[in-house]
A and B are shown apart, each in its own frame.
Chain A
Amino acid sequence: MKPIRRPASLVGGAARSRPAPALTATPLDYTYDGTFEGLLTVLFSIYESKSPPNSIQPEATAQSGLFAQPAHRETDEARATRVWEGLLKTMDAEARARLYHVFLSEDADRELLVFRYVDLALRSPVDVAENYANADVRRVQRLAQMMFREKHRMEAFVRFEKTSDELFHATIEPDMDVLPLIAAHFTKRYADQRWLIYDRRRHYGLYYDLTRTDIVQFENPTGQKSTDISATVLDEREPLFKHLWQTYFDHVNIPERKNLKLHRRHMPLRYWKYLSEKQPREVRFEPIKNKQVIVGKEVSAGQKLLPPPQ
């Protein structure tokens, strides 16, 4: 049998020490503009002013308590870049990417969690990525794992419809903000067709124009953001392929093995809305009755064969 693949951590880890300043000044309630760069700017500011965070919140939704020490930080590209690159001194690129994923997870505690993780990494003589005994490390891992799962689901559950002007468009409502994470996958895969994936919950989309993929937003005259593409402009063969896909979906099912619990675990109900095979429809295709043997009727070899295909 194949030898067991031993985890990398057994092979040996790099130990290094980096002193971080003690955060001894008055704790502050930071606010930022809600972007990842903004959060990185706040991190810079924390270590510059030595004021640990009481809270870090996006300005738009910030709630301040009675004794709050509000401190707003304008996003500073240069500082954000310095922090982003500096993180690599205490963690590998994979761990750093996890922090970005934590940010995209929209978890209520995401900003402070990123701070606590970075602070832990700065003060630890060894790489903390695998310190599963620490609750923050586990939480970061957990959120990153949830993000990965949601990203993977969206790579699977996007259903494009082709319009008459050759655009393939799809609408999604993921649990977390995954569009930035799926852009590369779809750009590589559908390099020869124009496509648009729109996140209806977050009101923005990805658009690929055969050259590059951009983040796009739409506004209609009433100022309401929308991507509603009227059904009249669908490609004439679009209904056919949707119908064929539903046909296929029904016919690969094996009724004798029916297990709806497992079905729903893999494909939770909340995603059905945009899955053409799971939408309410008039026709359900019954399995072909291919298992009965007509008793008493002898079929001689070859007799049943129709002409072979051309």
Chain B
Amino acid sequence: MNERIQEKLSILADAAKYDASCSSSGGKRKNESKGLGNAEGMGICHSYTEDGRCVSLLKILLTNHCIFDCAYCVSRRSNDVKRAAFTVDEVVDLTINFYRRNYIEGLFLSSGIFSSPDYTMERLVRIVKKLRTEHRFNGYIHVKTIPGASEELIAEAGLYADRLSVNIELPSELALTTLAPEKNYQEILTPMAQIRDGIIQNKEEKALFKKVPGFATAGQSTQLIVGASAETDLQIIKLTDSLYQGYGLKRVYYSGYIPVTDDARLPQVTQPPVIREHRLYQTDWLMRFYGFQADEILDPAHPHLDLEIDPKLAWALRNRHVFPVDVNVADYEMILRIPGVGARSAKRIIAARRFATLDMETLRQLGVVLKRAKYFLTCRGEHQPVIGELTEQQVRRQILFGAGSVRSALVTQQLDLFAQAS
């Protein structure tokens, strides 16, 4: 029996690992009855894989049997792989025992579709219900809803789960019909809208009544596969933008496509597009925390993110007329836009300049990355060659290759790979 469990775990963890989300933050589940677990606020990464990703949740499929045949997916029905399925009790037992040993923050449950969407969804709901009611488990639970499952089952899942997600996977309808013939956008967007409305309604009820059970209190998220189809970065961030605005999503995850098959419909790549994925995340952050609009970062003339430099620096180089910014007088919003100044340094600049006029040395000690920032700011009249006097290429080259330039490990690694290949 133990060997069987171990084999199932191997198969079903391996099949679930391409889901990028491992967030365990934003839950509002307090342990109030001396039960097991507590999931308030901050997420915890209990371990990290050798590829540097956070391991926060027990991320597994209930089963990798699937009636769908999506080309990018390892569990598609035409793939000749070992299949396995957990029972409800096995998942519950694993979750509880991993949690008690402080291995994990909770469970991320997803599944291949067997029999029918509702049949599958019903099993997922049964697991989370059992954890919450019979085991009084207050850890974090993320449930991926099954495309095509009924409204009632999704509503029930939301009562027990902290987060619900519907994966879009392919960023355009055309790609979806080519690569995932059994899926369609309507089946993805309908449950997304339902979850959005459920969350809004739940918040309104909570404002009125004290004891209202939560509904997906850590919000809803989705994932886009990058590089399996031909969309531009502009298309992707436009889609992201509409998801944040139109569907109130908490997070959009990007998963660099890793070749899982030699299907002729898919590009024959050998390396996952790690840098592109990284730049998309940076852009996502600029839109959510730095006040950037999607069309400021990319436009039809520049439909792709620059792989060599981060999107904020790229924006600054295209908009040199707004620099240099004087950090001792500029608005918070403008300081945030200086390359090399993160949200934390920007806040510190605003706070510290009430006490003293800031100079370059203080900025460095506040955590500003002067290597990049020095071209774009002034303080106390100190400044590097004024940005207006240098061409875009000059600044770019100095930052990338000048003295003290450090490229991120990620970029170096992938650029090395290019060098080896050529």
Contacts and interface: CB of A to CB of B under 8 A. Distances in A.
Interface of A: 1-4, 6-7, 9-10, 128, 130-135, 138, 152, 155-162, 168, 170, 188-193, 237, 240-241, 243-245, 247-249, 251-263, 265-267, 275, 277, 285, 287-295, 297, 299, 301-302, 304-306, 308-310
Contact of A288 (B11, B347, B410): B11
17 contacts: A4-B332, A7-B351, A130-B354, A131-B352, A132-B352, A188-B31, A241-B101, A247-B10, A252-B13, A253-B50, A258-B51, A288-B10, A290-B75, A293-B262, A304-B80, A308-B65, A309-B85
Contacts of A289: 81
Interface stretch (B39-47, B156-164, B305-313): B39-47
Given A159-B102, A191-B36, A251-B13, A308 B85 contact: yes
B80 A133 contact: no
A132 B366 contact: yes
A293 B74 contact: no
Contacts of A293: 78-80, 261-263
Contacts of B75: 290
A191 to B, nearest CB: 4
A267 B31 contact: no
Given A188-B31, A257-B272, A310-B87, A290 B14 contact: yes
A253 B17 contact: yes
B175 interface: no
B94 A244 contact: yes
Contact of A248 (B9, B79, B347): B9
Nearest to A298: B78
A39 B97 CA distance: 43
Top 5 A-B pairs, shortest CB-CB distance: A262-B52, A309-B85, A130-B351, A132-B352, A257-B51
A1 B243 CA distance: 11
A294 B262 CA distance: 10
B317 to A, nearest CB: 22
A308 B69 CA distance: 17
Contacts of A292: 80
B65 A191 contact: no
A251 B14 contact: yes
Contact of B55 (A128, A160, A249): A249
B47 A240 contact: no
A263 B293 CA distance: 33
Contacts of B186: none
Contacts of B114: 305, 308-309
Interface band, chain B:
35 or more
Nearest to B103: A245
A255 B16 CA distance: 14
Contacts of A249: 47, 49, 55
Contacts of B37: 189-190
Interface string B3-14: 001100111011
B268 interface: no
Given A9-B347, A259-B52, A1 B336 contact: no
Interface in B329-352: 332-333, 336, 347-348, 350-352
Contacts of B348: 130, 132
Given A160-B101, A291-B74, A308 B46 contact: no
A291 B82 CA distance: 11
Nearest to B30: A188
Interface in B28-85: 30-31, 34-38, 42, 44-55, 58-59, 62-63, 65, 67, 69, 74-75, 77-83, 85
A309 B61 CA distance: 12
Given A193-B36, A256-B271, A305-B114, A4 B365 contact: no
A257 B50 CA distance: 8
Given A9-B350, A266-B45, A287 B14 contact: yes
Nearest to B277: A257
A131, A189, A241, A285 interface centre (most CB from chain B within 10 Å): A189
B46 to A, nearest CB: 5
